[in-house]
Amino acid sequence: MATISSIGVGSQLPLNTLLDNLRKVENVQLELIQAKIDANTNRISAYGKLKSAITNVQSTAETLSKAQTYGAVKTNASSDAATVKGISHASPGHYELTIDHLASAQTLTMTAQSSRTDALGNDGTITITLANGKEHTLDLSGQDTSLQGIMKAINASPDIGVTATIINNGNTTNPYQLQLNARDTGEQSAVSKIRVQGNETLENLLSFTSENSTNDDNAPLGALSEKAATDAQFTLNGITIHSAKNVLKNTVDGLEITLNKVSADPILINVERDNDVTTKAIQDFVSAYNALNDTARNLTAYNVEQKTASALTGDSIVRRAQNSLRKAIDQNVDQGQLRSLNSIGISTDPKTGNLVINSERLNAVLAEKPAEVESFFGGATGLGARVHKAADEYVKSDGFIDNAQAGAERTNKTLDKQYLATEDRIEGKIEILRKQFQQLDVMVNQMEGISSYLTQQLSMLGNTKSGQ
């Protein structure tokens, strides 16, 4: 008998439907495993959201712990002849500045030459001495002694204190001039002496002794023309000051003053406290902490009406993280007038646990007690450092959250294997049933054929008897 391609055709029994229903029953096991995989995947994603929220709290806490978050100042100058920038912890005050002259760098220029590539004698050494006593020697033995070669040798030695370039002056006969420029401004960074030995040609062109140096070697004076270096000279609140640089970082504590141009007219500089940086740091911390609370609520919420849980409902890691951070925040300071967040103007909403800023109180405390605010939040033992440390236990590599994620990922790998094994087992079972149903279909079909044959034979036998 031919093979029946669709079971139940021969027997007219609903064997395909029965087999599909049996598969659905077996697949319930797969659905349960997949539900566990999905829940675990959601848990892994939720851990990532929790870690991100705690990391934001840690980042803002770190800002609170840093000294530059406090003592910021606003500055302004009455003229563009000077630029003033507050660095940190500058004392508020008023300054009057006049600028007599700016600091400049020395420039030395060689007499013009006809070629930039022709050798200027052979070999020799060049010793360059700065006014500050630093000395550097270049050995030209077997080296290029042309203008170009000397320029490259000097520029290849950054410690020498000068840079070299070749200027084309446009002259048709002798257009090339070697120029040496001090790397830094100020008289002490200038070249005081250049001594050439072992190369008479180069000695006559490059030797130099400044007017302020002793000419103990009888070196030629003026072989190089000089634009002398100068120190800046200015008067600040009646005090005459000299500086090798035009950017003054140590003249007034906490201020950086840049001298831009000479000004005989007094430049008025005003410095006042700027609490905006500190205020923003506190606001950012409060916002990050409240965002963490919102994230924690969403990740652990349970819908009573729908009886549905969130990804981390019942997971202790969320509660432990919140408790650790809250403990670090609520720890009071042992001394000073500002001992708690409440004393600074930050309270806790009893319904949500979120922090609430009383801006009026905070601004008043920052204006009246800036040093105590810094002591409360900043430094190695302040609130910022405590919160940073507490958060680190959860967000660091191999911390609590990473370990929880790793555990969930391992569980998913086990569930994936279980799913595949169960799927294979179900397919095997269904295949066995399919073959059994096919055999049943064939058997029923055969029995129906025999039944039909017997019925036909009996009918014919009856007809024969009735005809006799």
Q: Give yes or no for residue 300 having a pLDDT over 70.
A: yes
Query: Picking from 50-64, 216-230, 270-284, which range would have the lowest pLDDT averaged per residue?
Result: 216-230
Per-residue pLDDT tens digits for 185-203: 999 999 999 999 999 999 9
pLDDT in tens, 100-128: 999 999 999 999 999 999 999 999 999 99
Lay out the sheet containing 82-86: strands in order across. Answer: 82-86, 255-259, 247-248
Name the band, by pLDDT with cuts 50, 70 and 90, for residue 347.
Answer: very high
Mean pLDDT of 71-86: 94
Full-model pTM: 0.69
Contact 311, 42 (CB under 8 A): yes
Q: Residues, the chain, total? A: 468
Whole-number pLDDT of residue 425 = 86
* 3-state secondary structure at position 226: strand
Task: Tell me phi and psi for residue 422, to 5 degrees.
Answer: -65, -40
Structure-token match 């007094």, residue found: 266
Find all residues with CB under 8 Å of 250, minimum gap 6, and list them: none
CATH of 1-72+276-329+385-468, one of 1.20.1330, 1.10.12, 3.40.50, 1.20.120: 1.20.1330
pLDDT in the model for residue 418: 87
Check residues 444 and 397 and name the one with the higher pLDDT.
Answer: 397
- pLDDT tens-digit series, residues 427-449: 888 778 777 767 776 777 667 66
Q: What DSSP state is assigned to residue 3?
A: P
Alpha carbons within 13 A on the beta-carbon side of 159: 7
Rounded to the nearest integer, the mean pLDDT of the chain is 88
Per-residue pLDDT tens for 235-289? 999 999 999 999 999 899 999 999 999 999 999 999 999 999 999 999 999 999 9
Q: What is the pLDDT of residues 16-34, one digit of tens each?
A: 777 788 888 888 888 888 8
Would you kindly state where each structural domain of the chain is located, as residue ranges?
A: 1-72+276-329+385-468, 73-102+232-273, 107-227
